[in-house]
Amino acid sequence: MADLAELALEARGLSAGYGRVQVLRDVNLTVRPGEVVALLGPNGAGKTTLLRTLAGYLRPAGGEVLLFGASCGRMPVYKRCRQGVSFMGEERHVFPGLTVRQSLRLVRAQGEQAALFPALADRARHRGALLSGGEQQMLALTLALARKPRLLLIDELSLGLAPLVRERLLDTVRTTADTGVGVLVVEQNARSVLDRADRAYVMRRGEVVEERPADHWRADLDGLAALYLS
């Protein structure tokens, strides 16, 4: 079982941006083991920038990131991976030239893991590049989970995908968290992600403007929408 006393992730007063362009301002955020935390907010709010900073692709200009209770300073991406961080970016992370079967073999996905999405079984001989968007994202999630992460950072889980695929992906995210993995997920469909999330942060213009239990937002979708528009 996960140690629930230890946070999987903590951002303290985080600021970051691109060159002289500051995007994130004083972001404070936590993810506990076993939690699904949704990161919501309008286009350009800074969600991708935050995830990329947490994963180590962007260097913070201020504040700090703690992984599993320890400050990770300027730790490079690959070391964060070794610590148990898995990042799924907007671009689908599959091996374009390998078939589904080869990809699963490469990451040593076995048994239940390899069979996470039955739809992929029919595509075992198809190369990653030739899969549909939904199949690619199912494969990307399977590959990410095969690394047995302790913290999963997901950007735009279901962008452009069919509702049924989105629901299937989100169900898998929930069951993954139930095994003790902390999940921070950006998902355009707020209602769907809130159905599986424990808490949600709302970002606007580089700042976290609200943090509430998912139940709260589910009961006040209008209030949530107003935050996007204001």
Ligand X SMILES: Nc1ncnc2c1ncn2[C@@H]1O[C@H](COP(=O)(O)OP(=O)(O)OP(=O)(O)O)[C@@H](O)[C@H]1O
Q: Which residues bind ligand X (CB under 6 A)?
A: 18, 21, 23, 41, 43-49
11 vs 104, beta carbon nearer ligand X: 11
Provide the token pair at 87: 């990042």
Report the distance separating Cα 177 and Cα 120, nearest Å: 22
Question: Which letter does DSSP use for residue 61 in this model?
Answer: S
Q: How far is the CB of 150 from ligand X (least distance, A)?
A: 24
With respect to ligand X, which residue has the nearer C-beta, 8 or 45? 45
Residue that has been written with the tokens 């707020």 in this structure = 190
Nearer to ligand X, 35 or 156 (CB): 156
Q: How far is the CB of 23 from ligand X (least distance, A)?
A: 4
Least Å from the CB of residue 49 to ligand X: 3
- CB-wise, 19 or 118, nearer to ligand X? 19
DSSP per-residue codes, 133-202:
HHHHHHHHHHHHHHT--SEEEESSTTTT--HHHHHHHHHHHHHHHTTT-EEEEE-S-HHHHHTT-SEEEE
Closest approach, Cβ 177 to ligand X, in A, equals 22
In the Cβ-directed half-sphere of 71, how many Cα atoms lie within 13 Å? 8
